[in-house]
Homo-oligomer: A and B are copies of this chain.
Amino acid sequence: MIVVMRADATPKEVELVASKIRELGYQARPIHGVERTVVCVLGQVYPELMDELLVLDGVETVLRVSKPYKLASREVHPMDTVIRVGDLRIGGGHIVVMAGQCSVDTVDYTLATARAVKRAGAHVLRGGAFKPRTSPHSFEGHGKKGLEILAQAKAETGLPIITEVLDPRDVEIVAEVADILQIGSRNGQNFALLKEVGRTDKPILLKRGMWATMEEWLLAAEHIMSQGNHKVILCERGIRTFETNTRFTFDVNAIPWVKRESHLPVIADPSHGTGRWYLVEPVALAAVAAGADGLLIEVHVSPDHALSDGAQSLTPENFTRLMERLRVLAEALGRPLHPEVAQTSARGNGQIS
């Protein structure tokens, strides 16, 4: 940490800052520049120190030098993390596709969608049993009944299941059905929930909070990992900006930045990241070209009957077309689509390989 003094700070103020630093057990190294003095803090600092130094007299600002995340950082863990779900390897150099309905609605639609995405080559079935809804007057998911429908789809298709958990009290029952637990964007800094899923041994797909800097997103991963679960899959899904012609702004820069800073696999959600079905394919291809390890895509056999987010769902026809174009692109990039996997559901929890 580096304490930048005000241009008019007195020698006495500088000395008091240095004393405070030493009192806390660090070394203080003042450097007198042309315009102002800075005091370097040497030692393994803690985040709160910044605030404690900021309030001292004569201090202009405090600059951070170390990264706030450790477990999620590539500096600490240089090799890519690969997460196994049965025979599926997420982050291992192949592109993985997770697809399905935003909300689990009827058995018929869910099974039809599951078959359709499997046929097109998807590796994981997504579907929401518990749904976060902006309005309390909206459909909030079928809850436990939704989980049963997902279990049925898994039994029939053999696809592993990813589904969202909203409440720390539901983690256990959701984990009974899900192969991957999803943390939604609105819970991107819900620390009670992050800790709870950090105590399971399931892979966690962590969506970026729509307001979260990339550092805060990695710190949210750190919350999960600090509880012992290192099987975190990051998911970029768009951020809030002033642009309103799309629902969110998909932050494509985030993909290579996070891959460089962290060893965790990164997945892209172009359905939420755009909010418009006709933008899903180009942004999905872009995300993979930028280095994403996979995609999370909304598909519904009948988007105009979807109980949520129909406007951003692909039909099976459009999804099949996307998969075809993706296959060619992924091949050209040297990171081909993950091969189809046999029944994965019996393999137990995810593992880091």
**B31 in contact with A219 (CB, 8 Å):** no
A29 on interface, CB distance cutoff 8 Å: yes
CB of A11 closer than 8 Å to a CB of B = no
Smallest distance from the beta carbon of A206 to chain B beta carbons, Å? 13
With the chains together, A35 CA to B65 CA distance in Å?
9
Is A342 interfacial (CB-CB < 8 Å)? Answer: no
For chain A, the count of residues having a C-beta within 8 Å of the partner chain is: 114
Stretch from A88-96, A150-158, A298-306 forming part of the interface with B: A298-306
Residue of B nearest to A192 (CB): B167
CB contacts (< 8 Å) of A4 on chain B: these are 65
Q: Which of A106-114, A174-182, A281-289 contacts B (4 or more CB under 8 A)?
A: A281-289
Which of the 9-residue segments A118-126, A329-337, A343-351 touches chain B? A329-337
Check A42–B51 contact: CB distance below 8 A. no
Q: Which of A56, A137, A138, A313 has the most CB of B within 10 A?
A: A137
Which of chain A's residues 266-289 have a Cβ closer than 8 Å to chain B? 273-274, 276-279, 282-283, 285-289
The oligomer's copy count stands at: 4
In the complex the two chains form, is B51's CB within 8 Å of A308's CB? yes
Closest to A279 in B: B256
Within the assembled complex, what's the spacing in Å between the Cα atoms of A193 and B187? 11
Q: Is A322 an interface residue (CB 8 A)?
A: no
Residues of chain B within 8 A (CB-CB) of A47 are: 134-135, 137-138
Chain B residue contacts of A241, Cβ below 8 A = 239, 241-242, 249, 251
Q: Determine how close the nearest CB of chain B comes to the CB of A15; give it in whole angstroms.
A: 15
The contact of A191 among B50, B132, B257, B329, by CB within 8 Å, is: B132
Name A131's closest neighbour in chain B (CB-CB).
Answer: B191
How distant is the Cα of A209 from the Cα of B83 in the complex, in angstroms?
33
Cα distance A39–B55 in the bound complex, in angstroms? 25
Contact B42 A40 (CB under 8 A): no
A116 at the interface (CB under 8 A from B): no
Instruction: Give 15 A-B pairs besides A256-B282, A286-B286 with Cβ atoms closer than 8 angstroms.
Output: A20-B304, A35-B65, A51-B310, A52-B304, A52-B306, A52-B310, A68-B134, A69-B135, A133-B191, A245-B257, A252-B286, A253-B283, A260-B278, A286-B289, A331-B332
Q: List 15 A-B contacts (CB under 8 A).
A: A8-B75, A32-B42, A46-B138, A48-B307, A48-B310, A136-B222, A137-B222, A239-B249, A240-B240, A246-B253, A253-B283, A260-B278, A282-B291, A283-B290, A286-B286
